[in-house]
């Protein structure tokens, strides 16, 4: 516990006056981990770390020991292609013969900036949470481009719905903090999903908390992401893409 406290204190000291602190991230030399709470029902999850060997769900939610299933209940991940729709899903099932305990081999990616829905029906009746841990390198301004970070700290938001998250481990206000600086065009919308509103025994739904609209050159409200691993919906109105560039540095 003392080690975690010292690591977090060092990270916060480096961040200085940044208003949206990285929560539950313990980092030394820009390597850290994030504890991800998976509530019963649907969870909108992103991974703002570059993980090894990759950012597939087979790596992030390794199910080789059956951690994400119980009896006939199996966790499922739903992937969304920006501007297209839901294009892929995979189910945790060690009996399927798939890689890493996933029926479809766990190849769906959650690279920094991407987000997916994780459906946790394992604990749906009991109402208890599951916890996953992501471990990897913290993306920052100086991070080299790679398969997992092809455009650096830039996320291109296309016309229509985009299922995204911050590329870097930032939480708090989406618009006004000095890390994310989310841009907007008139009639753009953001919808934040709140998994904690699910009732015991229910699947939950697309519950939006802190919906905001870009009108007259400004956002109407400033929704909060409570955790660094939370994704959100961004609906872009215009045909020309909206480019979201973040600014983050852990190392001085």
Q: Is residue 129 part of a domain?
A: yes
Identify the pLDDT of residue 4: 26
Consecutive H or E run containing 10:
helix 2-15
Instruction: Say if residues 208 and 192 touch (Cβ distance below 8 Å).
Output: yes
Instruction: Assess whether pLDDT exceeds 50 at residue 207.
Output: yes
Identify the pLDDT of residue 126: 77
Q: Is residue 31 part of a domain?
A: yes
Using 50, 70 and 90 to split pLDDT, how confident is the model at 99?
A: very high
Using 50, 70 and 90 to split pLDDT, how confident is the model at 10?
A: very low
Q: What is the mean pLDDT of residues 208-212?
A: 73
Identify the pLDDT of residue 2: 24
Q: Is residue 177 part of a domain?
A: yes
Instruction: Assess whether pLDDT exceeds 50 at residue 69.
Output: yes
Instruction: Assess whether pLDDT exceeds 90 at residue 25.
Output: no
Domain count, the chain: 1
Instruction: Say if residues 92 and 61 touch (Cβ distance below 8 Å).
Output: yes
**Which tokens go with 186?**
């008139």
Window from 23-32, 34-43, 47-56, 76-85 with minimum mean pLDDT: 23-32
What are the Cα distances from residue 212, in Å, to 121, 208, 219? 30, 10, 6
Q: Determine how β-strand 41-46 pairs with β-strand 115-120.
A: antiparallel
- Give 111-165 pLDDT, tens digit per residue: 999 999 999 988 877 778 999 999 999 999 999 999 999 999 999 999 999 999 9
Domain that includes residue 186, residue range: 1-247
Q: Give exposure, 96-130, as e/b (b: 16+ Cβ within 10 Å).
A: bebbbbbbbbbbbbbbbbbbbbbbbbbbbeeeeeb
Return the percentage of the chain with pLDDT > 70, whole number.
82
Identify the pLDDT of residue 209: 66
Q: Is residue 53 part of a domain?
A: yes
What are the Cα distances from residue 131, in Å, to 54, 60, 128, 144? 20, 11, 10, 30
Q: Is residue 164 part of a domain?
A: yes
Q: Is residue 252 part of a domain?
A: no
Instruction: Say if residues 173 and 221 touch (Cβ distance below 8 Å).
Output: no
Q: Is residue 80 part of a domain?
A: yes
């Amino acid at each position: 516990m003392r080690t975690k406290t010292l690591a977090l204190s060092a990270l916060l000291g480096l961040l200085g006056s940044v208003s949206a602190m990285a929560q539950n991230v313990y980092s030394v030399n820009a390597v850290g981990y994030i504890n991800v709470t998976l509530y019963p029902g649907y969870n909108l999850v992103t991974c703002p770390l570059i993980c090894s060997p990759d950012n597939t769900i087979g790596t992030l939610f390794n199910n080789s020991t059956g951690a994400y299933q119980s009896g006939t209940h199996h966790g499922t991940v739903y992937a969304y292609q920006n501007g297209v729709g839901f294009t892929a899903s995979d189910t945790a099932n060690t009996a399927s013969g798939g890689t890493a305990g996933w029926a479809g081999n766990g190849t769906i990616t959650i690279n920094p900036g991407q987000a997916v829905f994780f459906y946790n029906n394992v604990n749906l009746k009991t109402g208890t949470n599951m916890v996953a841990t992501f471990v990897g390198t913290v993306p920052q301004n100086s991070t080299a481009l790679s398969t997992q970070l092809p455009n650096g700290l830039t996320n291109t938001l296309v016309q229509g719905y985009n299922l995204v998250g911050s590329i870097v481990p930032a939480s708090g206000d989406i618009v006004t903090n000095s890390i994310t600086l989310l841009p907007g065009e008139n009639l753009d919308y953001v919808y934040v999903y709140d998994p904690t509103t699910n009732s015991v025994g229910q699947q939950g739904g697309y519950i939006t908390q802190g919906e905001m609209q870009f009108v007259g050159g400004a956002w109407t409200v400033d929704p909060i992401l409570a955790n660094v691993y939370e994704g959100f919906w961004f609906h872009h109105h215009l045909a020309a893409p909206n480019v979201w560039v973040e600014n983050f540095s852990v190392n001085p």
